[in-house]
Amino acid sequence: MKGLTMSYVYLALAIIAEVAGTAALKSSEGFTNLGPSIIVVLGYCMAFYFLSLVLNEIPVGVAYAIWAGAGVVLISLVGAAMFGQKLDLPAIVGMALIVSGIVVMNVFSSSVQH
């Protein structure tokens, strides 16, 4: 795998690392709980490292839109699964619109290099 394909692998890793760090942030209890605090720092460091690799091939606006949008959807699902946070219909519709926007950007935009 080279070039653009590898950039999307890096982007997926950046998203996963960011979601892991964000999920651990709640459990860190204001950085007073050592284990989750370490996961937060490592997660964010890894997320930004992989995002920096992505920017070699994917424009910053596109990469950030995908990263942020996917992160919002995934952390909402993690919050529901791990912390019992409720997702009501407007939240679900909003997440569907975010995913739709990511798909439209990747399929139809000339800003995305294919």
For the segment 59-102, what is each residue's pLDDT rounded down to a tens digit? 998 899 999 999 999 999 999 999 999 999 999 999 999 999 99
Which among 6, 16, 2 has a CA at the least distance from the CA of 74? 16
Q: Using an 8 Å Cβ cutoff, are 43 and 21 in contact? A: yes
Residue 24 vs residues 16, 74, 107: alpha-carbon distances, Å: 12, 14, 33
**What type of residue is 35?**
G
- Under the banding of pLDDT at 50, 70 and 90, the label for residue 114 is low
Which among 31, 12, 29, 32 has a CA at the least distance from the CA of 74? 12
Which among 74, 43, 50, 77 has a CA at the least distance from the CA of 64? 50
Mean pLDDT is lowest, of 32-36, 52-56, 61-65, 72-76, for 61-65
